[in-house]
Chains A and B, each alone.
Chain A
Amino acid sequence: MKLSGWGRFPVSECRVEAVRCEADVLALIGKGDVIARGNGRAYGDSAANALCTIDMRRMNRMIAFDASSGQLTAESGALLGDVIDTFLPRGWFLSVTPGAKFVSLGGAIAADVHGKNHHKDGSFGSFVDWIEICGADGQVRRCSRTENADLFAWTLGGMGLTGVILRAAFRLRQVESGWIRQTLIPAVNLDAAMEIFEASQDATYSVAWIDCLARGRSQGRSLVMLGEHALAAELPRHRQSNPFDTGNRAKRSVPFDLPRMLLNSLTVEAFNDLYYWNGKRKAGQVLVDWDSYFYPLDALLQWNRIYGKRGFAQFQCVLPLEASKSGLTALLSAIADEGGGSFLAVLKRFGAQNGNISFPMPGYTLALDFPVSPRNLTLLEELDAIVLAHGGRFYLAKDSRMSRETFHRSEPRSDNFSKFRGNEDMQQHFRSAQSDRLGL
């Protein structure tokens, strides 16, 4: 069947095998190369294999929960959103969550996803206690920081290339409510935004929406959003008796592919202006429900259709701290010069790196998306070059078009990854369209 990531680009023809239990997975191993696929929320071709893509969505059982440690054991197809639905009413939330809740546990581990608390708590992997993974020899191994530690460190961020993740145990965090105390701080330009991030290292959550089209003295103008889990006592009186009930957020869906004309530099510029001034007006502290705070786009089901039929390409890089300012300035200038228009641009300060091949490093990450067009694909190559010149690297969960050369120049760690995979006979057995493209 035709398969693509959430960006709907590229599309490829793949044989898909849905599995329901461990035995189903074992039956597919050793008959040619495979890749596991969770809920298909990686943007590009990370979870596509023409010969055999293993659909893990039906292997989504929750296995056990230890309320003393907050440790949840679940099968890898379980969605993070289901974890929230089940455990938030009992006072637990994800320790790390990406900006989309329709992500599977296996996908979160394979991409070692990060959230708005990366500067403080690290990535998803920091809270994973162990992983059970099916290897090339059809054996299921448990790996953790103390057992098969190498396998554990390469599986976090390893994009499913170390085997099929079957189950994992990970820790949730205790919260007193389903609400986030959000502080919104406008930043007139990039300098100001970075200063706010540096001064807000103690905030649990921090993230900024950044206007990529602003130029001159306003270049990099942003709305920085800090957040803390609200304590029950901080809620308005009428919410205190039911602190986890935030009501049901209305779900809307984009019913069809929007015409491409709707998104051009003028409409995006107007949107950005409005968004910035509206945000500035609302500066200060408000209570926001968890769903709107962490997953603003999930309320718009199938939001990927706003980019039209040809889909879109995501771009997310991280720049080392010392090169962040010059690198971000160069990236923003290139984007504004082209006027390509990305209205969902996000800036965030990362903290320490963990794992052997995880994406984050201390510094700044910038995430953008562009409708797929020849012009934008050229712009993306320019952005690649700027990131390379500043010693940065790229997020594979969002990549759909990077060249092999760019990848290898950005990832000196990939040699060791290939060596490890070669020793364990993984290269023959676990491959994706992305790993083939990047020569991983």
Chain B
Amino acid sequence: MSTEAPKGSVLVLGARSDIGLAVAHRFARQGYAIQLAARNCSSLAADCADIALRYGIAVTAHEFDVLATAGHEAFVAALPELPIIAVSAVGTMGKQDDNERDMAAAITDIRSNFEGPAIILAVLANHFVARGSGTLVGISSVAGLRGRATNYVYGSAKAGFTAFLSGLRNRLAKQGVHVVTVLPGFVDTRMTAGMDLPAKLTAQPAEVADAIAVAVSKQRNVIYVRWMWRYIMLIIRHIPEGIFKKMKI
């Protein structure tokens, strides 16, 4: 059980996701109180009990719908305390075929990967600026670095989110608030269940959480989780468009 003085709270948005839960465990182990935010948050009771029992810290669950952007300000105001670190692990990855045929599905994917996470971090940013401290972590995706036929709806929303984080970091750099952009590459989660992912390029959720904790403490700006991804994406981004458009990747 932690005997250190309370370190403040870490807010995890999208706390039911595998990465969100791993992040919660990682920061709880360091002695932070944890605020888990997700839809239907009463179903997180078992996770709250688990984290509280393991690390001897306070854990609270908060109802949060990332698409209900009008309620974001009220959501932050209702938290038991303003967190010192907020991590957005929100996101969906719809099927590309569905997104091509069903525009409502495409809109949901775009909103839940870009609009929703961007707005909640924007609200939190203003509170952090008023306090003069804090760290915002946005989990984006390498898919946002170049649109590909197989998932460009998801990818373009992530591209928007990545650009938003970059701008936010630029704006807040002189105001004591740090912004971390995470581009995890493949992760072994519910989102990727059933996909045949190469083991060497696929991180476990706990690895992503470790990378985030290090990035927060060292004030890193943009992180990849497994190092190979930095170079893979460097190559993919530099393929001339004339060739790229005919490729199947």
A63 and B54 contact, CB distance less than 8 A: no
- At the interface, yes or no: A64 with Cβ under 8 Å from chain B? yes
Residues of A contacting B53 in the complex (Cβ-Cβ under 8 angstroms): 62-65, 86
Bound-state CA distance A338–B178 (Å) is 64
Bound-state CA distance A392–B53 (Å) is 43
- At the interface, yes or no: A145 with Cβ under 8 Å from chain B? no
Docked complex: A45-62 residues within 8 A CB-CB of B: 58, 61-62
B190 and A63 contact, CB distance less than 8 A: no
Closest to B197 in A: A1
Knowing A61-B47, A64-B49, A86-B54 are in contact, say whether A18-B196 is a contact too (CB < 8 A): no
- At the interface, yes or no: A82 with Cβ under 8 Å from chain B? yes
Bound-state CA distance A65–B52 (Å) is 11
Number of interface residues of A (CB under 8 A): 15
> Which residue of B1, B49, B54 has the most chain A CB atoms within 10 A of its CB atom?
B54
Report the minimum CB–CB distance from B65 to chain A (whole Å): 20
Docked complex: B5-59 residues within 8 A CB-CB of A: 18, 46-47, 49-50, 53-55
Residues of A contacting B78 in the complex (Cβ-Cβ under 8 angstroms): none
Bound-state CA distance A407–B199 (Å) is 35
A63 and B50 contact, CB distance less than 8 A: yes
Bound-state CA distance A18–B189 (Å) is 9
Bound-state CA distance A62–B54 (Å) is 7
- At the interface, yes or no: A90 with Cβ under 8 Å from chain B? yes
A20 and B54 contact, CB distance less than 8 A: no
B190 and A18 contact, CB distance less than 8 A: yes
- At the interface, yes or no: A279 with Cβ under 8 Å from chain B? no
- At the interface, yes or no: B243 with Cβ under 8 Å from chain A? no
Docked complex: A384-435 residues within 8 A CB-CB of B: none
Report the minimum CB–CB distance from B199 to chain A (whole Å): 9
**Which of B1, B46, B55 has a CB less than 8 Å from the CB of A63?**
B46
- At the interface, yes or no: A89 with Cβ under 8 Å from chain B? yes
Residues of A contacting B70 in the complex (Cβ-Cβ under 8 angstroms): none
Closest to A89 in B: B1
**Which of B1, B18, B54 has a CB less than 8 Å from the CB of A58?**
B18
- At the interface, yes or no: B74 with Cβ under 8 Å from chain A? no
Report the minimum CB–CB distance from B124 to chain A (whole Å): 27
> Quick one: CB contact mask for A344-360 with B, threshold 8 Å, 1 for yes?
00000000000000000
Closest to A74 in B: B50
- At the interface, yes or no: B193 with Cβ under 8 Å from chain A? yes
B46 and A18 contact, CB distance less than 8 A: no
Bound-state CA distance A65–B54 (Å) is 10
Bound-state CA distance A62–B196 (Å) is 31
Bound-state CA distance A221–B54 (Å) is 43
What are some 8 contacts across the A-B interface (CB < 8 A)?
A: A18-B190, A18-B193, A20-B190, A61-B49, A61-B50, A63-B46, A64-B49, A89-B1
Name 6 extra pairs, CB < 8 A, besides A65-B53, A86-B53: A1-B196, A61-B50, A62-B50, A64-B49, A86-B54, A89-B1
